[in-house]
Structure 1
Amino acid sequence: MHESLPPRFLERMKVLLGNEYEDFLNSYKEPPLRGLRVNSLKIEPKEFQRICPFSLSPIPWAPEGFYYTGEARPGKHPYHAAGLYYLQEPSAMAVVSILDPKPGDWILDLSAAPGGKATQAAVRMKNEGLLVANEIHPVRAKALSENIERLGITNAMVVNHSPRELREKWPGRFDKVILDAPCSGEGMFRKEEESRKEWSDERVKICALRQEEILAEAALLVKPGGKLIYSTCTFNLEENERVIDRFLSHHPSWELLPIPRMDGFRPRFPLQGEQGAEKRESSPSHGVEKSHAFHGITRLWPHLLPGEGHFIAFLQKPMEEEVSFSNMENRRRGRLPNEALLLFRQFLHESIEPTWSHFPEDRLFLFGEHLYLLPTPALSLKGVRTLRAGLHLGELRKNRFVPSHALSLALPGDAYKNRLSYPASREEIFRYLRGETLPFEQEIKEGWVSIQVDGFPLGWGKGTSHLIKNHYPKGLRWF
């Protein structure tokens, strides 16, 4: 496979890696490793291992992550549609593991699509606090929103802006910012032919310039004392160490935070002319230091661990840096019309068990005909291009409330009064995912029905006197 790698890329890697170059090259003879991350908002990893129909092995740096074999097709299993897991490249899981999100954090993922790092952060936050998942490209932002919905995440706002626009709206508001920077993709060459074809020296230079600009804007979104994690899936110095070093030269009060050492992780490369013990961490060719932590920067290499290439830098903003917080929080909520509130209450009474039917009315917000439960705390959405403003509850139509697909996935299986569960192997599950009607079962009542696989919700059906109409979204159906 390495014959298809760009010759100029190989020249650069030979200089960079020295006596490890041959090992690196040989890694391209191996098939790429594939991973999934269990969604503990719905099921704990140990329980998922028990019911999982394909073979798994743990990913060392992500307790919720597992490798699966190439023969398995987890994206075509009903458990995927139910949001029990997210398919993600194993090395990419290290970023959020290092950031270590906590319940109650305010977190911004600045370049979030398709949602791997954003959803991993949200799951670790346990749906508490605020996650803003941003994506500048509208089509990718839609895919991001769908993944957040599928995993049952309720505390996320999905927005569609440039980093500069967000910095102007929400300066200094976030405890933690994730910047998975657009890059030349060298670490994905083993997986993606397109990345190999698009690579060039010029592309590396363009990416590095853009990364510096985005990183400068990202820094202004972090609150004093907050943290920023920068990552790429590329190998060269220009997009990695040099970007971080130039940033620190312009922001000398920022600090690099320790990153715990793990098998296969390696320190940064020293740049020519650097002095000082902290900057003389060895390259892979010179072995690993005995310290238990890296000084703010680590690299993941495909010839040293089971995963693709990644670069990670972990930084902290100084406490003394001042930030303006004016006009940031939206404390003036639009009053929900009485008719809308009554229709929603009626739906809850008919369809949701009392234990799960409490939706604070001061957080309900109507966007046109669409009803949302806003996160708490929430940021002002005035002038913000918003695809998802928290949990989409449903739509108000003529004298009725139509629940959303997001609501069908946001609660556990036993939260729904009217529910119908089939084993994963049953043909009815695949009929449902294809958008077909289902036979009416004696144990259900007419009205909204939660269709479930092994007790995990998949979506809504509408029970009538003789069949169940399918309300699985057309854009998600299996064909």
Structure 2
Amino acid sequence: MYLPEAFQKKMKAILGEEYDDFLAGFEKPRHYGLRVNTAKITVEEFKELVPFHLTQIPWVENGFYYEEEDAPTRHPYYYAGLYYIQEPSAMTTASRLPVGPGERVLDLCAAPGGKATELGAKLFGEGLLVANDISASRVKALLKNIEVMGIPNSFLLNEVPAKIAEQFPAYFDKILVDAPCSGEGMFRKNPEAARVWSEEKPPECAKMQREIVKQAISMLKPGGMMIYSTCTFSPEENEQIIAWVLREFPEMQLIPMKGYEGFSEGRPDLADGNPELKKCVRIWPHHMDGEGHFVALMQKSRTPEMDDVSPEKSSAYTSEADEEPSDHDDIKKKKKKAKKGRKDQKERNEAAGCTRQERTVLESFFADVRAEVDWKRIEVRKGFAYYLPEGVEGKKNLVFVRNGLYLGEIRKDRFEPSQAFAMVLQKKEFASSIDFSAEDERVIRYLKGETVDVSDLECGKEKGWQLVCVDGYPLGWGKLVNGTLKNKYLSGWRMKVNG
């Protein structure tokens, strides 16, 4: 394949005796990978369920190679959000960021969502995932992937990092920065990237990367972790960025990641010689079955004061208005504050359109929903109902694509549930369902938007809304009328007829 002469010269200088092996790797076929969505299915259940030719990706617990002939994007399980198609090396970054339920997590350059959806899966619906992309077109793909994967607690932004940093100072437990880069590690996968590459691209990207990282650090809590990655080989965008961080932000330190025999150490000699840079990881295609990647895990040091004060009570996270009343606050003041709070809540609900009639319509539908619902988090705006995440209250002047889970639309006296709502449910969490087997040809017809006869299938109710599933995993909605399933699968998600 074509490789720019200047690129070849640079890589020969970096790799020395390994250069010929590196070059030979471009003639080998690429590797195909998928990542199991553990928010919906365990790895063991997945292996027993799918008919694909799977081989474990040895450094990612929920990652697998598959054969091109498997065509996993044409299988109903793909539409059920049981897995995400992702390049094997690209899975590394999110797998090395230790995220747990209840944490506040940011993916700053998130589209199309491969890493963000894995972070969201690790939260298991608890805590907050803020996912951002500066590109309005790419953030649409991010939204769809977040919804397909069934991640309810997300706040999706289309902003520049500096604007986000103004609203979220020292806020996040974990941050992922998969920085826009020159893409050298993807030349084999995407030959067009090699054709448009130039010597000017890495330093141009490095300038942008420093600005993104600076904003990310300002949003990280003391004690929090940030992982930085690129899909390029360029030292300007890799070791030199991390060396700059260590010089300019002394509160940041590199920490080791879970290793793998194919990982290569970072190269201090390609930056300022700081031996700490060996803690970075380089993924070389001639050492591993994947494309080129660079990953660095960092932690923001805790101040001595933080050891005695929980982060939520630190002055970094609270204003005077948020502080608890002191002992000498009188009872009247507390009662007045509580009354004002109730009034503010009422006004907020009315402003959001949470009328009594709309609440009645919602409650009628939710009588069939067996999942736990916090009604204080439901908001209706112009007839559209949302389930809001916790932790983004009062965040203003941000361009957002979605705040929480879109539940559906209230149309006069009825509720039309959304595709996104179906994807966060389990089969047992809705009163009535139609469950196809993956081998049933009707499931493909459903995914293509057709009306299907289901008179031979059992369901909880003989008419009305049905949660349509494949082997117990939700796909979307349908309405049952006299044994016929009226298709409510979202038109923009439908399987192409001739695909």
With the length of structure 2 as denominator, give the TM-score of the two structures: 0.88
Q: Equivalents in 2 of 1:316, 1:462: separation in Å?
A: 50
Q: Equivalents in 2 of 1:6, 1:328: separation in Å?
A: 58
Written as runs of structure 1 = structure 2, the 5 A alignment for 1:290-301 is 295=279, 297-301=280-284
Asked if 1:395 corresponds to 2:409, the answer is yes
Structure 2 residue aligned with 1:289:
none
Give the partner amino acid of 1:94. T
Structure 1 residue aligned with 2:92:
94
SS at match of 1:32: coil
Q: How many angstroms does 1:370 deviate by?
A: 1.5
- 1:15-74: CA deviations, max 9, x gaps? 000111111111111111111111122111111111111110111221111111122211
SS at match of 2:62: strand
SS at match of 2:96: helix
Paired positions, count: 457
Written as runs of structure 1 = structure 2, the 5 A alignment for 1:240-389 is 240-271=238-269, 274=272, 277-278=275-276, 281=278, 295=279, 297-320=280-303, 323=316, 325-326=318-319, 334-335=348-349, 336-349=354-367, 351-352=368-369, 354=370, 356=371, 358-389=372-403
Asked if 1:449 corresponds to 2:466, the answer is yes
Q: How many angstroms does 1:364 deviate by?
A: 1.0
Structure 1 residue aligned with 2:490:
473
Asked if 1:209 corresponds to 2:226, the answer is no
Written as runs of structure 1 = structure 2, the 5 A alignment for 1:139-218 is 139-218=137-216
Q: Equivalents in 2 of 1:66, 1:368: separation in Å?
A: 43
Instruction: Name which one, 1 or 2, has greater alpha-carbon Rg.
Output: 2
User: CA separation of 1:337/1:204 partners in 2, compared to 1, >3 Å: closer, same or farther?
Assistant: same
SS at match of 1:258: coil
> Do the aligned residues in 2 keep the contact of 1:169 with 1:328 (CA within 8 Å)?
no
Structure 1 residue aligned with 2:231:
233
- 1:244-276: CA deviations, max 9, x gaps? 111221112311112232111011112368456
Given candidates 80, 86, 90, the residue that maps to 1:82 is 80
Q: How many angstroms does 1:324 deviate by?
A: 5.8
Q: Equivalents in 2 of 1:59, 1:273: separation in Å?
A: 31
User: CA separation of 1:215/1:451 partners in 2, compared to 1, >3 Å: closer, same or farther?
Assistant: same
> Do the aligned residues in 2 keep the contact of 1:224 with 1:319 (CA within 8 Å)?
yes
With the length of structure 1 as denominator, give the TM-score of the two structures: 0.91
SS at match of 2:169: coil
Give the partner amino acid of 2:132. N
Q: Equivalents in 1 of 2:224, 2:37: separation in Å?
A: 26
Structure 2 residue aligned with 1:284:
none
Q: Equivalents in 1 of 2:201, 2:319: separation in Å?
A: 39
Q: Equivalents in 2 of 1:276, 1:213: separation in Å?
A: 22
User: CA separation of 1:425/1:152 partners in 2, compared to 1, >3 Å: closer, same or farther?
Assistant: same
Q: How many angstroms does 1:328 deviate by?
A: 11
Give the partner amino acid of 2:358. A
Structure 1 residue aligned with 2:332:
none
Q: Equivalents in 1 of 2:92, 2:65: separation in Å?
A: 14
- 1:256-313: CA deviations, max 9, x gaps? 112232111011112368456545x4xxxxxxxxxxxxx2x11111111111111111
- 1:425-444: CA deviations, max 9, x gaps? 22211111111111142634
Q: How many angstroms does 1:128 deviate by?
A: 1.2
Q: How many angstroms does 1:367 deviate by?
A: 2.8
Q: How many angstroms does 1:413 deviate by?
A: 1.5
Structure 1 residue aligned with 2:452:
438
Q: Equivalents in 1 of 2:182, 2:320: separation in Å?
A: 38
> Do the aligned residues in 1 keep the contact of 2:240 with 2:271 (CA within 8 Å)?
no
Given candidates 52, 57, 60, the residue that maps to 1:59 is 57
Asked if 1:31 corresponds to 2:14, the answer is no
Q: Equivalents in 1 of 2:241, 2:276: separation in Å?
A: 17
User: CA separation of 1:201/1:359 partners in 2, compared to 1, >3 Å: closer, same or farther?
Assistant: same
> Do the aligned residues in 2 keep the contact of 1:163 with 1:218 (CA within 8 Å)?
yes
User: CA separation of 1:278/1:159 partners in 2, compared to 1, >3 Å: closer, same or farther?
Assistant: closer
Q: Equivalents in 2 of 1:234, 1:328: separation in Å?
A: 46
SS at match of 2:479: strand
Query: RMSD across aligned C-alpha pairs, in angstroms?
Result: 2.0
User: CA separation of 1:272/1:189 partners in 2, compared to 1, >3 Å: closer, same or farther?
Assistant: closer
Q: Equivalents in 2 of 1:478, 1:226: separation in Å?
A: 41
User: CA separation of 1:193/1:318 partners in 2, compared to 1, >3 Å: closer, same or farther?
Assistant: same
Structure 1 residue aligned with 2:442:
428
Q: How many angstroms does 1:382 deviate by?
A: 2.8
Q: How many angstroms does 1:193 deviate by?
A: 1.9
Q: Equivalents in 2 of 1:179, 1:47: separation in Å?
A: 31
